[in-house]
Structures are given as C-alpha cells and as structure tokens.
Amino acid sequence: MVVRYGNELPGVDIFVCTADSVIEPPMMVINTVLSVMAYDNPPEKLSVYLSDDAGSQLTFYALLEASQFAKYWIPFCKKFNVEPRSPVAYLDSISISDDSKQPKELATIKILIDGKDPNAKDSEGCVLPTLVYVAREKRPQYFHNFKAGAMNALIRVSSAISNGQIVLNVDCDMYSNNSLAVRDALCFFMDEKKGHEIAYVQFPQNFDNITKNELYSSSLRVISQVEFHGLDGYGGPLYVGTGCFHRRDTLCGRKFSREIHNEFKIDIPKDREREETIAVLEEKSKVLASCTYENNTAWGKEMGLKYGCPVEDVITGLSIQCRGWKSVYYNPERKAFLGVAPTTLAQILVQHKRWSEGDFQILLSKYSPAWFANGKISLGLQLGYCCYCLWATNCLAVLYYSIVPSLYLLRGIPLFPELSSPWFLPFAYVVISKYMYSLAEYLWSGGTVLGWWNDQRIWLYKRTSSYLLGFIDTIAKSLGLHSDSAFVITAKVSKQEVYRRYVNEIMEFGDSSAMFTALATIALINLVCLIGLMKKAILNEGIPIIYETMLLQFVLCAILVLINWPLYQGLFSRKDNGKMPKEIMEFGASSSSAMLSLWANTALLNFTLPAWSGAVEDGLNHGFNEPI
C-alpha cells in the first residue's frame, strides 16, 4: 500500500486519553503511546496526541522522557520486527511508579516532537512521528463532559497541528499489539469500491490479563467473536470508544454522499505550510482547548462526540451511521490492541452499570435506535442496537425468576407444568436448547466449559445488581429525580494481594458496594428456600412429589444456589481480605429475613396445594404449609 500510494496516504492522528494518574499510572499510559508511535507506517504520516485530564506533572515528564526514548525504541522495533511494540509488554517486566494528581486550570499544549521538523529524527536518522501533550483547560463553573469533552478538544487541537484525515482513539491501557493494524484500517478506507462509504473501522477489545476460565467474563467473548460480526453484515458494529479508526470529517458531522469519493490529500494545514514556530502553534492551540471555546457552538451536538450520555461512544457511532455512513468490524488473527480487564467483581459491576445505564438512556432519548434510526439504518442493525439498549430492562425478568419461583417452591406451590403434563416438554426444550446453544457458542468462540459457567454467574450478577441500578437511575433521571450520571473510571491497577487472588480465580468480594447487598440478599433467599424445602420433603417423605410436580422449580432453585457457591464462601467460610464485608453480610441477612417473613405473612399463604396424590395429600400439605 505504501508503494502504491506513497505520499498520498492519509495522515493518521492517534488520540490516547487518560483522566486519573493514580488508577491509570503514567507507566501504563506511556507504554501505550510508545506502542502506537512504533506503528509500521510512514512516520511523517503519524501524529500521537496524549490527552491528560488529570493535568499530572508526572505524566507530562514521563511523556517528555518517552519522547527521547522513542528515538531508540522505534528503530529497534522496526529493525527486529518487534511485536508487541509496548516496551513493558515486550520485556514482560512491569514497574509502576506512584503518582500524585496535580490538576491544572489553564490549558497546556506541548509539541514534544515535531514530525515536520527535519531535525526530529531517531538514532538511525529516520523521521519521528509528531508527539503532542494536551491538558485542556478545566474550571469548576464549566462542565468538562468527561472523555467526550477530551476527545473533542483533541479533534480541534490536532486539526491545527497535523490534521490527519484518519483519527485513531485508544484508551490509555490499550497498547498496540499489532504494528500492521493501521495499514489494515487504511485498506478499508482506501478501497476503490466501498472505501468512500466507511466512516470508521472498529477493532475488538482484547485483554492481556484474562484468566484461563475468565473469572469475571471480562473478555466479552461472544460479543466480539459472534455478535459484532453479525452486525458487520448489517452495516457495521457499534463504536465502542477504543481501538477505532475514524474519518475525521465524519466525527465533525459530515453527511454521507454517494457523489463524493475518497479525497485523501496531503494533510498539512495551510498554517503549517508557512513554517509557523512551535511556540506560536502551541499558543493558538490553547484557544482550541479552552473551557469556553465550545460555548454557543455545535460541539457535542452536531460536531464531535455527543455529550450528555455515559456511553458517548455508542451514541456517537449511531448518529454517524444515521447520517448514511457504514462501519467495519475487523478482528485480525493477531489482536490489534490489548488492554487491562477489571480484576475485581466490584469493578466489573460498576463498569456494566455505566454501560447499561447509558445504553438505556439512548433508548429513551431522541437518538433512540427504535425511532430516530428508523429508515436511516438497516432493520437488522436497528435491532442490534436495541438489544444492547435493553440490557438494563433485563433486570426485571431475571429478578422475578431468581426470587419468586424459589419462594413458591418453599410453600410447595408449583409455577411450572408438572412432569406428567404435556406442557412440560416445551418448557424443558426451551431451557435445554437455550443453554446448550449458549455453551456451544461460547466454546466455538474459544472459551472453556468452566469459563462458560463463570459467564453465567456474571450474567446473573450483572442483571440483579448493575442493570437493576442502571434501570432505576435512568428512570429516576427521566422523571427529574436524579442528576446526570457520573463517569466512573475503571481502575487499571490493583493491589498485589487482590491480583494474586484474581490470577488464582478466587472471586473478590472485599468491597462495601450496594450491589453486593442485592447479590447477597438474593443468594440467601435461594439458599433458605432450598434448605427449607429439602427439610420438609425429607421429614414428610415428599421427594417423589417434588420430582413429579415441581421439578423445573427445584432445578432452577438448585442451580441458583450452585452458581452462588463462591458468594456463600465469601459470606461464611473465607478468612482473607477478599471475603464479603461484615456489614454487607449483616444487611443481606436482614434483607432476606425481612423478605421471607413478609412472604410468610402474606395472604398468598392462604392458598392450598393441589391434590398431587390422594395417598399422601393430607400429610404433605400439612408439612409444606406449616409456618416458615
């Protein structure tokens, strides 16, 4: 491609975003920067921008040192064809320094390496990519719009310095694992037949710290290996906020037109052609990164990433596709990017709470794929978006099936068809086929049987905690009872003790999270119901009756108890710091006891059991209907 297009290759501006120098250490950020600077692409066509919303001096000086190290690291990578090109990942020796967060008010723009400067060369005399440090202006009286605001500031600043027509954005922990990824993306954009239709090329999120059996189901295996490939056939996947190559003009609001084909020209802004000094360029760029620049403009609405949603990436991608553009999902054999997956249960639940809440907000907003996208994108893609936007509402059905059948089981009241009923077979068929298909899909995606079991556990936990809170918060916000959602950054580092348990696949419960209270309450209700049922069945010789009349109900309750086994260990038997906090255990026990007591005193207990068997009816009914 380089031989064919030469200097006509579009420039690529790479955005790396960081917002907290404590949970996103400078060492991690700099490794990501160095990995993308070493892409196998003409360096004069690459520009790397680091957005530091923390304004950390340590991050700035780490980047300054990295700019010097790059003079030796980049030629080393290209000479020996090093993969991956993150120094830490390549050398496999992690060293994390402490950092102190020192927020700044005024914007800071520093061009550490000017790729247009003939003197900016590496140790072998080759041109280096442009490297720019950006800390936008942030003041209390101006809302900064989190990552979306940082990205929009980078779009404006980069347009004045390098103006690459292709923009790649990666999270600070997502280092490049494939130096050819940039060429792969450019192949799609420069395709002579379909390239002019493509707005962005999305690579999957992959992680380098996933355990063998994926304790927290962090890899999103089925989504990346199956679902996104399906969406690709309907016009393209969602934009997931990292590992995505964009056309700059589509991010700035351009609509698709069949009459306009690829127009990749030399990207140097006219101002740079007049050899502006770096100092002048930095001062001009500060205006673009000021907190007042967006006042009374279309930024955050019609231009750049959308504001006002916890998942600014998804709603931005949807709006781009609704303007007529298509996207591409590309999953190469060698993973393009590798990041850091959450290493505690609390982190994964908080992350999914933000995702489900943001997606549900999109469904209820004017940008809803149910009506805003109607007629603008394909029906298949519309339904695909709706599946993710309805994540939060799944909590209602899962809450019902994880609590109500068990409570009725304790009272001996069947909710599903009896074993002898002809309706038993359809129920059994749906349950068995659904989970056999799910297992086959997971194994086909490269997972393990135990990994699938862990995936089912996290599936349950997300829907009874993360999605439940996301659903409640969204409804409360829609009714004006709740303020805007906070953008919670997922920690990229963990304590050594916590990480050791993660590697050994021992679940981490050592966090006083409200979501753990919901999990503990539901788990204890099912445990009490199962034990109570078995006690009454054994004492009253009612096991055959349970098998005949409530088999599906019993199996459901037993599976819920089995899948919660690590949680019971965290509540009752573990002694390490990863056990469930005492206050969570006490609150969960109190909540479950209150619910069981309320159930015991409700009028529903006046119902009598059906006549399962005339021979044991009187004794069995007496046994099941005695007080709990």
Spatial separation of the C-alpha atoms in residues 63 and 155, rounded to whole Å: 20
In the residue annotation, 576 being an active-site residue is answered as no
Helices (H), 365-448: 379-389, 394-411, 424-444
- What CA dihedral angle connects 508, 511, 517 and 523, to 10 degrees? 10
Q: How many CB atoms lie within 10 A of CB 508?
A: 26
Whole-Å CA distances, 444 to 218, 225, 231, 438: 17, 9, 18, 10
Q: How many residues does the chain have?
A: 628
Strands 130-135 and 108-113, by their bridges, are: antiparallel
DSSP H stretches of helix in 324-423: 345-364, 379-389, 394-411
53 given a catalytic annotation: yes
CA angle, residues 100, 103, 105, in degrees to nearest 5: 160
Give the span between the Cα atoms of 226 and 436, in whole angstroms. Answer: 16
- What the block records as the tokens of 16 is 């790396």
Give the bridge partners for 113, in sequence order: 131
CA distances in angstroms from 449 to 435, 463, 507, listed in the order given: 12, 21, 18
Q: Is 24 annotated as a binding residue?
A: yes
Pair 155, 248: CB distance under 8 Å: yes
Find, among 51, 40, 63, 45, the residue nearest to 16 by Cα. Answer: 51
Closest CA to 401 of 261, 271, 553, 532: 553
CB 236 within 8 A of CB 381: yes
CB-based contacts of 141: which residues, under 8 Å, 6+ apart? none
Q: Which of 52, 53, 122, 267 is catalytic?
A: 53
What is the spatial distance between Cα 595 and Cα 290, in angstroms, rounded to a whole number? 54
What phi-psi label fits residue 149: left (phi over 0), alpha (psi between -120 and 50 degrees) or beta?
A: alpha
Flag whether 40 is marked binding.
no
Cis peptide bond N-terminal to 84, omega within 30: yes
Kindly list the distances between the CA atom of residue 607 and the CA atoms of 411, 413, 533, 623, in Å, as whole numbers in the listed order.
10, 9, 17, 14
Q: Measured between alpha carbons, how far is 428 from 418 in angstroms, rounded to an integer?
A: 11
What values do phi and psi take at 176, rounded to 5? -75, 125
The single-letter code of the amino acid at 499 is Y
SS3 110: strand
Give, for 528, the enclosing helix (H) or strand (E).
helix 514-539
Phi (first) and psi of residue 456, to 5 degrees: -65, -35
Which of these is catalytic: 114, 232, 313, 455? 313
Is 147 annotated among the ligand-binding residues?
A: yes
171 marked as binding residue? yes
Q: Which residues belong to the annotated binding site for UDP-alpha-D-glucose?
A: 24, 53
Active-site annotation, residues: 53, 313
Q: Which residues belong to the annotated binding site?
A: 24, 53, 147, 171
